[in-house]
């Protein structure tokens, strides 16, 4: 492990930027471009519940809401989306709408998404639906109405450009752009300021990252930042709120 705040890293060499994937232990994707895993090796689905859902006060904040917009930096395999969708389905009331908008530079192929997510029987139906609807050649904005209450948009391209172009109104952010030491672009002051500007008053963010520069960038953008216990033995993670 090379990054004290993340078990996503290991001793692999970081190669020149390329979207190439390697598979470890059968179904664990690893990015050779960024020298990092897509989620924690302990259990990425449970990590999602601890870090991204609970860190944003979900599912509790969904109660009584007709519309809720989540932004994510880094769609990757869609694991966070599928776990969020699974939990949302249990609460969604007729007419309510969750919009999950993710920003991704290197969209995966459907068979790669399917291979990674097959690890979790708990999200079997979400995986099948996502893989079946996923386009062969994702570009621009992939927009999928996956059920009556759930819409997914994946904005292809650099996150800074995508977030800049997005309309404001985000209720919660999942900051999931690989370890900060491996991919500073996804944690830059400009990106944190831009996403803060698109967040509603009272909106929140959560991330497994705990690096000092990430915390400072989020604070400088305007978020009140809190440190919490990380997932699976990680000392800290960050979450925070834009004051109402």
How far, in Å, CA of 223 to CA of 225, rounded?
Answer: 6
Candidate segments 62-70, 100-108, 130-138, 141-149, binder of ligand SAM by CB under 6 A: 100-108
Q: Per the structure block, which two tokens stand in for 31? A: 């990015």
Beta bridge partners, 207, equal: 238
CA-based nearest residue to 69, from 189, 198, 207, 239: 198
> Minimal distance in Å, beta carbon 106 to ligand SAM?
4
Q: Per the structure block, which two tokens stand in for 30? A: 């690893």
**Residues 65-84 within binding reach of ligand SAM (CB under 6 A):** 74-80
Under the binding rule (CB under 6 A), the answer on residue 186 touching ligand SAM is yes
Under the binding rule (CB under 6 A), the answer on residue 214 touching ligand SAM is no
Q: Where are the alpha helices (DSSP H) in 21-168?
A: 44-47, 54-55, 79-89, 110-117, 124-133, 159-165
Q: Measured from the CB atom, is 137 or 243 closer to ligand SAM? A: 137
Q: Measured from the CB atom, is 22 or 148 closer to ligand SAM? A: 22
**Residues 132-171 within binding reach of ligand SAM (CB under 6 A):** 158-159
Which residues here bind ligand SAM, judged by CB under 6 A?
A: 38-39, 74-80, 103-106, 158-159, 176-178, 183, 185-186
């Amino acid at each position: 492990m090379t990054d004290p705040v993340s078990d996503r890293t290991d001793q692999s060499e970081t190669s020149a930027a390329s979207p190439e994937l390697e598979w470890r232990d059968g179904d664990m994707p690893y990015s050779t471009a960024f020298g990092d895993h897509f989620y924690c090796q302990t259990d990425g689905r449970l990590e999602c519940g601890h870090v991204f859902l609970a860190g944003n006060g979900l599912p509790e904040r969904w109660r009584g809401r007709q519309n809720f917009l989540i932004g994510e930096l880094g769609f990757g395999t869609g694991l966070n989306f599928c776990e969020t969708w699974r939990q949302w389905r249990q609460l969604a009331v007729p007419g309510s709408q969750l919009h999950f908008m993710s920003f991704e530079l290197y969209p995966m192929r459907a068979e790669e998404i399917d291979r990674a997510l097959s690890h979790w029987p708990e999200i079997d139906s979400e995986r099948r639906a996502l893989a079946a609807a996923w386009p062969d050649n994702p570009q621009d904005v992939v927009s999928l109405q996956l059920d009556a209450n759930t819409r997914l948009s994946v904005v292809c391209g650099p996150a800074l450009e995508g977030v800049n172009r997005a309309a404001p109104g985000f209720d919660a952010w999942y900051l999931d752009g690989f370890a900060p030491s491996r991919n500073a672009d996804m944690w830059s002051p400009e990106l944190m300021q831009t996403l803060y500007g698109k967040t509603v008053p009272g909106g929140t963010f959560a991330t497994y990252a705990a690096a000092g520069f990430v915390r400072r960038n989020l604070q400088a953008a305007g978020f009140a930042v809190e440190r919490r216990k990380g997932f699976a033995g990680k000392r800290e993670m960050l979450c925070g709120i834009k004051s109402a």
